[in-house]
Every structure is written in C-alpha cells, then in structure tokens.
Structure 1
Amino acid sequence: MDLPQRCSFSQPALLFFLYFFSLLSLSAFLHLYDKMPYQQWRISVKNVSNFPGRGQPASLITTNTTCNSSRSSSKIIDSGIWTVNSAGRFGNQMGQYATLYALAKMNGHQAYIYPAMHKYLSPMFRITLPVLHAEVAKKIRWKNFHLHNWMSESYKHIKGKYVRLTGYPWSYTFFQHIRQEILQQFSFHDHIKEEANQYLQELRGKRQEVTYVGVHVRRGDYVHVMPSWKGVVADRGYLEKAMNYFREKYPNPIFVVTSNGMEWCKENINASRGDVYFSGDGRESSPGRDFALLAHCNHTIMTIGTFGLWAGYLAGGKTIYLANYTLPDSPVRKRFKPSAIFLPEWIGIPADLSPLLSKKPSQVQKPEA
C-alpha cells in the first residue's frame, strides 16, 4: 500500500526553492560584507589538527559588539594585526618571519604572514604563524613601519594596531632573547630531517667520531654585484683557512660543500684529502635541500648572504664567516652593522681586499640606485 504524501511540493520544486533561497542569502551577505568599514573586520584562526605546526590561512568573519555567538565559536583577536612584507628569497624570508614574530610579541600584538611567505617557508619548517588572507589584507589600512637591520630601543614601543613591517631585517638582535622559540619555528618536517641525516650518514661510511662541517659558498649574482658595492666574495684562500681551522681542531672532519656556483667550488676547493664532499655529486642542488644539509651539520663555514647566516644560526655549532669583505666607504656599511649580523662567538676571517685596492678609483663601479 502506498504511503500518503506529507508535502504538496514535488521534489524538483523543493530543490529549486532551496537553491533560489540560498542565492538570495549569499547575495545579501556579500553586499553587507562589502559595505562594512574595515574597523569591524576581525580575524579568526582555524585550528587544523591534521597539519600540526603549519600556519593556517585566516578566515574573515563579521562581529557585532552585542553578539556573543561568534566569540563562542571562533577565536577573535582584538589586539590588532601585525604583518611583514614578503620580499627576497629564502634567507630574507626567514629573517622577516623571525623579526615579525619577535617584535609583534614584544609589542603585544598578533602576527600574521602573507601567503607568499607561507609558500616559501611552510614546505620546510613547522612554522605556526597564521596566514593573512589576501582579501583581508586589502581591507586593512596599514601603518607601514620601516626597519633598519638591527634592533633599536624604539622598536619595543611601536604604536599601531595594524602595522606592516618593511625592509630586509636580518639580525639576531631582534630575536636572540627568544632564540629557542625561533629555533622551534624553524624546526624541519620529519621527512626533511630524515633525508638530510641519511645523506650525512652515507658520507660517514665506516669512520668513527666524525665532525660534519657545512660549507656554503655564495656566488651567483654576488660575483658581479659585490665589486660595485666595493666588496668581494670569498676566494680559495679564505675557504682553505676556514677548513684548516676545523682540520686542526677535529680528527675526522667531513666538509659538505653547497653553493650556487658549484663549478667554481670544484675548481678552487682542494678535495684531495678525501674529506670534502660536494652536495648533489657536484651538481647544484635545490636551495631547500642544501639548507637542510647545512643546518644538520655540527659546524658551519659561510661566506656572505643571509642563507649562510641562517645555516650557522640553526646548526648552532662554531661558525666561521668572511669578515671585513668591503672597503670602509662601501654603501653596504651604511645599511649593516657587522656586530649586529654575526654573533659574538662566531669566528671571523678577514677577506682579501687586494683585488679592490689594486684597481683605480674609476674602475670601481658605482652601486645602482
């Protein structure tokens, strides 16, 4: 026996009604969304347990001072929104992230990062800062605050709830007071750690009590840029001195060389002792893979650039760096303080500036504006 019908609507008609009603509701919400002044926007951070340690894009929600339902279902951040420009490559992105993390915390505000920064760093690290949605960022009237490359007392008292830090900050003086938190932010994903440790173990072979020394040789565009800045890049003499320091200190050092100029390295680094290995079998590897290898070594030899600086900072052992690599009147000296770049316990070996001194003044190119 057929059951009686409980509704006079046919199924197609009911589906059409529900679809039409949902379109009206969505249209009304979007109209309200567009008209709302930026002061009423709030950010809700979604907690996704499936991806621990990874920043999650923030979602935009509307709130009202008389409505408590949103507060009960979402975490509303009323302390303001701080972010930082996402500029440069890997090392610069790390410096901007760490500086934002430290200064926002110091000034009592919530930090968010742009999607571009998240794309750079999240494949490598377990970063936790939430991601600021692009549409949210467009609605905010930012107060841009430019940073020079060292910590100042005034940075402890930056005014503003919606602050965007700008510049290329990399200095341990911004975040050394919370070093362990920064190291936690830049902890590698498990599969990256496993790959790096496996590679180092293969280099070790049957040797006992080895000491891994990561060597980063920055070349690439710096080979052409540094002379115009009245500076030099590392030469074979510097690298030999740095490597001999570890040879004298440890009985079984293993040097892992990474570079964006690997052909130069193979021609200028003496590997005849059997303790030098060129990453990727002498072929230039990916920046992420090279960085993971350097960070998992015991000690570091760096040349110039933020990539090597961060490798030494994360490795945590002894770090040798190229010191005094510019002439006193170099424009670089106006933007960087060596004492704020290299940690006090790091070991500097002065660069050979004779190639610059042997040139006539007219031969030294002026830096581009």
Structure 2
Amino acid sequence: MFIYSSVYGIAKSKGMVLVVDTYDHIKTVFPNLHALSINSAFEFCYSSRVVYEKRACAYDIETVQFDNRKNTTLKAYLQSWKYFKEVEKEIRRQFVFKQKVQDKAQAIINNYTNEYIQHSNVSNNLQIIGVHIRRGDYLKPGKIAFGYKVATESYLYKAFKLFRSKFKNCLFLVFTAPNKVDINWRKDHIDGSDVMNVDAHERDVDMCALSKCNHTIITVGSFGWWSAWLNQGITIYYNDVVEPNTDLSRDFSEDMKDYFPPNWIGMQ
C-alpha cells in the first residue's frame, strides 16, 4: 500500500502513468485502482531505468528527481506519507475494500458492540476504538538485531487512559495477528470492562474493521499504520519503534515525522 500510494503520488507529480501487473495482489484487495494494468508489467519493469531510495521510512527528494521522459522502476519501500500527501483524496477513493469485505467487517463491529451493550447497558455516545497489536515476528533475533522494537504494556495503558479521559463511554476492540505469541500476550496483558478481544479474520477484513472504528491505537508495523490512515479518527501510535544506532534507525528521519503523520499522537 505504501509503494502503490507513493508511486502513484510521484507519477502524478511528474506527469507520468503508474503501471501495475494485472495479477498484482493489491488489485485483489482494492478493485478501484487508477493504475494502468498490463499483463507484462514485470517485463516492462525489468527493461526500464531503475531508481533506488536512500531510506525506506523517510521522504527523499532525490528519489523523485528523475527524468520523466524515461520509463522508470522505483525499487523502494517508499514508506512516507509525504510522497502521496498531494493525492491523499485520490488514494482514499482507490483504497476502498470490496463490498463483501466491508459487510463482513461491519458485522464484526456490530456483533462485538451489541454484545458489549447488552452486558454493560452503555450505548449513549459510545466511541469504538480499534486497537492493533503486533509483536510475534518483531521478536525474532534477526529483527531485534536490525533494530525493531515492540510496544509495551505501559504504552497501551497510557493510550487507553487517554481515550477514557477524552470520552465518557469507550469500547476497545483489540485485534492481533493470528499467531499464538500475539494472542497469548493480548490475553495476559490487555483487560478491562470496556475491552473486547476480537477473533482474527482474513487480513483485509481485519484492516477494514479497524478502519471502520471511530478511532485507533496502533503499535508497530505497516498493517496498523494503514488501518489508522484509512480510519481518519484520532490515532495514537507507539513512537519508540526503533532501537537507536541500528540499521533500522537509519531508515527513518530523525524525528520520524516523515513516517508518522503530524496529526497523530505519539506516546511510549
């Protein structure tokens, strides 16, 4: 999603056309993309001039300063909202899930909300906060050595507390990746009378459900990032995601504002 959005934004700014392969996975998730779809996209890319980025999670002006008269392939992660800030409305119109995915996601929210209301008798001005927890793969030795960190229990406590102080009635729907490490950690560390743990579904359904909540709390990873970006409510993010002086830290701008939008609330 980062790559598509950023390349789309760069192409628009340079008067170029974004090309994707007909069978690219992103087209199976979002059917309304405005890119030129061709069967031979991979062959096209291999025969074009290649441009590399310097940092994966920071805006790099040199990345976009290439000759727009030549076919170009961007070999990059392009994980900065700044690459597509001028086409944000267009991206939002393209990143619309299939109706069956939206229906399933809404049903999940409705089912958990209705269950909560029945047990709590709280329904007036109920604010639904989608929480995404990712830990498992970030705890692997290689990831840790590269610089990845995971969000702490104290961060989540502070994030929950902020929403509870801001709104009278909250319901926290907590999503995780479908692995035992994350599911067990959630069970052992996240609780409260206004907290409900959500069973894992297909990844597009879970992202869609998170985007349909009123607000979001995210931990680490691009799945949570995009869930929050699509949501457009208040987002709280973990701002201690990288170990200093590591290979990963050099992928970010010093203040990380190239990666995290300025209207999001960072905590640790």
Q: Where on the TM-score scale, by shorter chain, does this alignment land: which range?
A: 0.7 to 0.9
Asked if structure 2 preserves the Cα contact closer than 8 Å seen for 1:215 and 1:294, the reply is yes
From the superposition, tell whether residues 158 and 279 of structure 1 become closer, same or farther in structure 2 (CA, over 3 Å): same
1:270 to 191, 204, 213: 191
- Counterpart of 2:25 in structure 1 is 119
From the superposition, tell whether residues 228 and 113 of structure 1 become closer, same or farther in structure 2 (CA, over 3 Å): same
- Counterpart of 1:292 in structure 2 is 208
Quote the Cα distance in structure 1 between the aligned partners of 2:44 and 2:33.
24
1:342 aligns with 2:260: yes
Q: What does 1:247-258 align with in structure 2 at a 5 Å threshold?
A: 247-258=164-175
Q: What does 1:1-369 align with in structure 2 at a 5 Å threshold?
A: 94-115=1-22, 118-134=24-40, 137=43, 141-147=47-53, 148-149=55-56, 150-159=58-67, 160-205=69-114, 206=117, 207-224=123-140, 225-260=142-177, 261-271=182-192, 273=193, 275-280=194-199, 284-337=200-253, 338-350=256-268
Asked if structure 1 preserves the Cα contact closer than 8 Å seen for 2:147 and 2:249, the reply is no
Two-structure CA RMSD over aligned residues (Å): 2.1
Task: Letter of the 1:249 partner, please give it.
Answer: K
Quote the Cα distance in structure 1 between the aligned partners of 2:138 and 2:49.
33
Quote the Cα distance in structure 1 between the aligned partners of 2:42 and 2:257.
38
Task: Letter of the 2:265 partner, please give it.
Answer: I
TM-score by length of 1: 0.63
Quote the Cα distance in structure 2 between the aligned partners of 1:101 and 1:320.
27
Q: Which deviates more, 166-175 or 119-128?
A: 119-128
Quote the Cα distance in structure 2 between the aligned partners of 1:285 and 1:162.
39
Q: Which one scores higher on RCO, CA 8 angstroms, separation ≥ 6?
A: 2
Partner-residue secondary structure (3-state), 1:144: strand
Asked if structure 2 preserves the Cα contact closer than 8 Å seen for 1:107 and 1:158, the reply is no
5+ unaligned residues in a row in structure 1: which ranges?
Answer: 1-93, 351-369
Quote the Cα distance in structure 2 between the aligned partners of 1:138 and 1:124.
23
5+ unaligned residues in a row in structure 2: which ranges?
Answer: 118-122
Task: Letter of the 1:151 partner, please give it.
Answer: Y
Asked if structure 1 preserves the Cα contact closer than 8 Å seen for 2:45 and 2:72, the reply is no
Task: Letter of the 1:128 partner, please give it.
Answer: H
Partner-residue secondary structure (3-state), 1:131: strand
Quote the Cα distance in structure 2 between the aligned partners of 1:180 and 1:146.
27
Partner-residue secondary structure (3-state), 1:203: helix
Q: CA deviation at 1:229?
A: 2.8
Quote the Cα distance in structure 2 between the aligned partners of 1:121 and 1:136.
15
Percent identity between the two aligned chains: 26
Quote the Cα distance in structure 1 between the aligned partners of 2:139 and 2:41.
40
Larger radius of gyration: 1
TM-score by length of 2: 0.86
From the superposition, tell whether residues 327 and 199 of structure 1 become closer, same or farther in structure 2 (CA, over 3 Å): closer
Structure 1 moving runs of 4+ over 6 Å: none
Task: Letter of the 1:236 partner, please give it.
Answer: E
